[in-house]
Every structure is written in structure tokens, then in C-alpha cells.
Amino acid sequence: MHIVTGGAGFIGSAMVWKLNRMGVDDVWIVDDLGTGRKWKNISGLKFREVMSSDAFLDPLRRGGPLPPGTESVIHMGACSSTTETDADYLLRNNFEVSRRLAMLGIEAGARVLIASSAAAYGGGECGYADDVESLYRLRPLNMYGYSKLLFDQWAGATGSLSRVASLRFFNVYGPNEYHKGDMASLVFKAFGKIRETGRMSLFRSHRDDYEDGGQVRDFVYVKDVVDVMWWLLGRPEVNGLFNIGSGKAESWNELARSVFSAMGMEPDIEYVDMPPAIRDQYQYHTEADLTRLRAAGFEGTFRRLREGVADYVGKHLATTNPYINNDNR
């Protein structure tokens, strides 16, 4: 049995889809469906059980073990808002729950994959190498990033990183992010804006070494992300910190051109001033260092932005059923 927390969310539901494609349907989905559209992310997928976060976590908080027969814990459930300012909430939800599930997973002899984040790298002053030596040099720019770094620091200090894989996701985009609101990728937002107005906006650069819209990110397609996770799931001996990105930084301009191209339109981009409140914290460059992942033996490829966006728009955003469960390749 495979437990996927956040299993109706973005990466979590994509992982359930991947499990199904690989013939696995003995899955417990743990998530809070609420009143929005998140339930559609799992409609059509195969799983054994679905339950709320409290129904799953409350017995564990009281000292209970994981359900019998647990083969893996794929913990994707967390607050993913980079603008959340309630530090106590993030401490409880992102750090303490992750730590508890990691401890229980190790105790049960289960495979444990934990969602971390490239937000732990802060402004990138210390680079993007996923090594233990950098754990106390990193300075996240927000409490969300710090809550993820706290888990990695705990796991490193206790030796748990030798028993779990902590995954530092970079800028993930793709189907099933529709419920994320402001935290959805710019690919998703751009598609809606272009369809509505025929144009889109990007931030001007406030640095001389970057052109307007020339700020770069490591964009990684969610279908490539779950390929890595599936590979790790079958290799319990491969543990530690792992960057999950494409390894190739590309610009916001390239993202915009890719969306316009996928929609069969000529680019129409306007540049707007970056709000002063975020200028000092804005990242102009992120790029995953995949050295450790490659050294561990992962040989899979990652789509470049134009290819991933074409798949996302053509097979999902521009269809009547945009969810990942409509892709039966």
C-alpha cells in the first residue's frame, strides 16, 4: 500500500496517475478536498482509500503507527503558499507533520519521499547544490522556504537523510494545478490571460544585467517530476537531498513565447514594473544542480520549456477535460 498525502493536489495527484500507469492502484489518498475543484484531480484515478488529513493524522499524533501494509509514504501534502506569514502554522503543517511521517515511515521500513522546495535556497547566493554541507548556509527568503529547510536540517542532523529522499522541487508546472490560485504556475495563468485578452504581462528587469522578461527560472514539467519520483520509489537505497528540476534555466520571455506558440498565436507581451515590496526578494536566476541525482543513476530526460508547454496546452489546458487523468499515453 502506498500513502500519498496531498494526493488530490498538484504533484500528489500526478503521482497517483503515474502509479496507476505503472499498474499500481493500492493507494491511500490523504487530502482535504474542500469546496473547490480539487476532487476532479482524482476523478477517474484508481485508489483504495481517500480520507481527510485530520482523519489520517490524528491517530498518528496520538502515537499510533502507520496503517499495516504501508510500503511507501509519499508526502506531498503541505502549505505551498510562499506568501503565508503565519510561521507557527507553517511550522506545524510543513515541518512537524513531515518529521512525524518520516519517523513513522523509517520505523515501518517503508520507502519515504518528502516534498521539499527550491525555496530553501533563498536568493541563490550559496548556489543550488543539494548537499548536506550547505544546510546551515542557506537563507530562505520567506517562511515557507524556511519550513522546508527546517525538515532537511532535522533529517541531516538525526541521520534520517540516509533513510528518506527529500525532494527540492523547482518551478513545477502542468495539469492539476488549477486549484492553486495565486500559487499556480505562470504557464497556467498566461494561458488564461492570453485566451481572454490576446496578450500577457511580464515584469521589467530592475537589474542592468537582465533584459525585461529575461529573468530565468528552472521550469520543470510535472510529468517529468513524477518520472523521477517513480524511479526513486523503486530504489530505497537512494536517499538524501535531491533537486528536482530540468537543470536548464529558461527565461520568462521564453515561457511567454512558448505559450503563445502552443496556442497558435504571435507573441504580444507587455512589461510592467515589479512591485517595490518584492524587488529586494526577487530571484533573477534559479537552476537545479542535478549532479547528485545523475550520480545516483537517474538517466531520464527532462522536457525543455517549449516542449512541456506544448504538451500541457495541447493535451490539457485547451481541452474540455484538462486534468491529468485524461492522458492515457
Q: Which amino acid is it at 305?
A: L
Helices 305-312 and 252-262, interaxial angle, to 10°? Answer: 40
pLDDT of residue 181: 87
pLDDT of residue 247: 97
CB neighbour list of residue 68: distance below 8 Å, 6 or more residues apart: none
List the grid coordinates of 306.
517549449
* Cα–Cα distance for residue pair 98/104, rounded to 1 Å: 10
Higher pLDDT among residues 36 and 229, named by residue: 229
User: Do the domains at 2-172+219-245+289-302 and 173-218+246-288+303-329 have one common CATH topology?
Assistant: no
pLDDT tens, position by position, 265-292:
999 999 999 998 888 778 899 999 999 9
CATH assignment of 173-218+246-288+303-329?
Answer: 3.90.25.10
Single pTM value for the model: 0.95
Domain ranges of the chain: 2-172+219-245+289-302, 173-218+246-288+303-329
Residue 169: pLDDT band by 50, 70, 90 thresholds? very high
Does residue 284 carry a catalytic annotation?
Answer: no
pLDDT tens, position by position, 188-228:
999 999 999 999 999 999 999 999 999 999 999 999 999 99
pLDDT tens, position by position, 50-109:
999 999 999 999 999 999 999 999 999 988 888 888 999 999 989 999 999 999 999 999
Of the residues 128, 144, 146, 178, only one is catalytic, namely: 144
Q: What is the DSSP string of 3-38?
A: EEETTTSHHHHHHHHHHHHTT---EEEE---TTSSG
pLDDT of residue 241: 97
Does residue 136 carry a catalytic annotation?
Answer: no
Nearest C-alpha neighbor of 90 from the set 59, 131, 120: 120
CATH topology of domain 2-172+219-245+289-302: Rossmann fold (3.40.50)
